[in-house]
Amino acid sequence: MKNIGIGLAGFGTVGAGVYENLERHRDLIAERSGYVFDVRRIVVRNPQKTRDVVAPAALFSNRWQDLLEDSEIKVVVELMGGTSEAYDLTVAAIKSGRIVVTGNKALLAERGAEIFAMACEHKVPVFFEAAVAGGIPIIQSLRDAFVGNRIESVHGILNGTSNYILTRMQEAGLDYPEALAEAVKLGYAEADPTLDINGWDAGHKAIILAALAYGFWVDPATIRVEGIDRVSAADIHFAKSLGYCIKLLGSIRENSGMVEVGVAPTLIPLGNVLASVNGVFNAVAVRGDLVGDSLFYGRGAGRGPTSTSVIGDLVEAAHGLNAARQTYGFASHSLYGSSRPASEIVGSYYLRLSVDDKPGVLARIAGVLGEAGIGISSVVQPESIAGVETPLVLMIHEATYGAMCAAIAKISALNCVKGEPLLFNVEALS
């Protein structure tokens, strides 16, 4: 057995899970991999805090620099989150020649190009299985198992918290704040759940998947990312009556030589397999030109699943110590052109309005859409239900997102339209 010294930055849900499970499965991991992982230092903001996972007090420190001052630490595990100190630690670790294992999706989505350029320069790999979809091995699958495929599309339910909330709203009739409080209590949401709710946790993950599928880092400022905060019980009900359920879906695809990435509440057919992905579960559907359709399913958040991915990366890192490599966790290339700005992406939509119950209203709305060259594929005027008076639902078959936004601005200004129109995507996933 070979001992590998590791340094842990962060001891929250994931960091504590890594420590606990390295201890619990020490023998199993050693027998299977040939390595014993020795946590030599744990960096946290407050070393004195009482924690539910107990580790020797002497391991704790509040200086990340300590990880780099111990020459026996060969792998730095960055699970502190955020993009400031985590960036400084990651860069310093790479420059010091240490392998980095990270679960930090925001950091990679925002600065992945720079971090991997540095990793190549210093010939130090960075592994990040825990950054996307908790315990599902989607990073290794896209990067290694599907290396021989052109990836046509990746669709994913990528945020466990949002999926948990939508499921609880749908199945138990909970309202949004109650469902969110449950997700926080269960340790699914981030310490600050803002990014779970506003869609950016899934947005960061979609950018990472797109990078692996297409070889470059899409600029977060150019993509459309919306969270589930405007999904209401009424919309879940209307969608169901049309044969759909609502999921927060990450959509990544190559289309006519350009890469399209976005995250939004999306109506998907009830019969599609992704419609039955509920609770904290995530799923990623990958379509490759050789492999066809593949589906990855598993828990997207929580201590056990996410530490599973970190421990897998630790073994990968240990194999990589002192071994010559051609790539360093992500290989950039320019075989897929560039990314298409959100406003130019063509999609199908669910547009829900609240309107005056008077003759001529539909004609005025259809007139605005018609002038913009946007065709309506169906119109439904469901019964009013709690929270939405005189609803009007329009299904739009094909329009650019930019054209939809411009038309919605005009529709909002009509005096027969009340409140803010709601626009969700529709994906046939065929």
Strand partners, 36: 3
Structure tokens at 391: 């609803």
Catalytic status, residue 205:
yes
Binding residue for ligand HSE (CB under 6 A) from 73, 76, 179, 189?
A: 189
Q: Does 250 bind ligand HSE (CB under 6 A)?
A: no
Residue 201 or 254 having the CB closest to ligand HSE: 201
Catalytic residue of the set 105, 205, 247, 410 = 205
Q: Which part of the chain contacts ligand HSE (CB under 6 A), choosing from 23-31, 61-69, 187-195, 217-225?
A: 187-195
Total site size for ligand HSE, rule CB under 6 A: 11
Binding ligand HSE (rule: CB under 6 A), the pick from 78, 129, 196, 427 is 196
3-state SS, 15-53, equals HHHHHHHHHHCHHHHHHHHCEEEEEEEEECCCCCCCCCC
Q: Does 159 bind ligand HSE (CB under 6 A)?
A: yes
Spatial distance between the Cα atoms of 51 and 54, rounded to a whole number of angstroms: 6
Q: What are phi and psi of 313, to 5 degrees?
A: -65, -35
| Nearest distance from C-beta of residue 193 to ligand HSE, angstroms | 7
Alpha helices by DSSP H, listed for 263-346, are 303-320
Q: Which two tokens stand for residue 283?
A: 């799923």
Comparing CB distances to ligand HSE, the nearer of 190 and 235 is 190
Stretch that binds ligand HSE, among 189-197, 214-222, 349-357, 389-397 (CB under 6 A): 189-197
CB of 116: closest distance to ligand HSE in angstroms? 20
CA dist., res. 358 & res. 211, Å (int): 50
Question: Which residue among 10, 160, 199, 312 contacts ligand HSE (CB under 6 A)?
Answer: 160
190 near ligand HSE, judged by CB under 6 A: yes
Please tell me the distance from the alpha carbon of residue 356 to that of residue 54, in angstroms, as a whole number.
61
Q: Is residue 188 part of the contact set for ligand HSE (CB under 6 A)?
A: yes
Binding letters toward ligand HSE, positions 201-220, x by CB under 6 A? x-------------------
Helix axes 303-320, 26-33, angle to 10 degrees: 40
Based on the number of CB atoms within 10 Å of its own CB, is 405 exposed (0-12), middle (13-18) or buried (19 or more)?
middle
Q: Is 300 in the site for ligand HSE (CB under 6 A)?
A: yes
Least separation in angstroms between residue 187's CB and ligand HSE is 9
Q: Map 90-149 to HEC letters.
A: HHHHHHCCCEEEECCHHHHHHHHHHHHHHHHHHCCCEECHHHCCCCCCHHHHHHHHCCCC
Selected range binding ligand HSE among 182-190, 214-222, 232-240, 346-354, rule: CB under 6 A: 182-190
Positions in 126-155 near ligand HSE (CB under 6 A):
134
Could you tell me the smallest distance in angstroms from the CB atom of residue 291 to ligand HSE? 26
CA–CA separation, 415 and 127 (whole Å): 54
Coil, strand or helix: which one is 285?
A: strand
Residues contributing to the site for ligand HSE (CB under 6 A): 134, 159-161, 188-190, 196, 201, 300-301
Which residues are tagged catalytic? 205
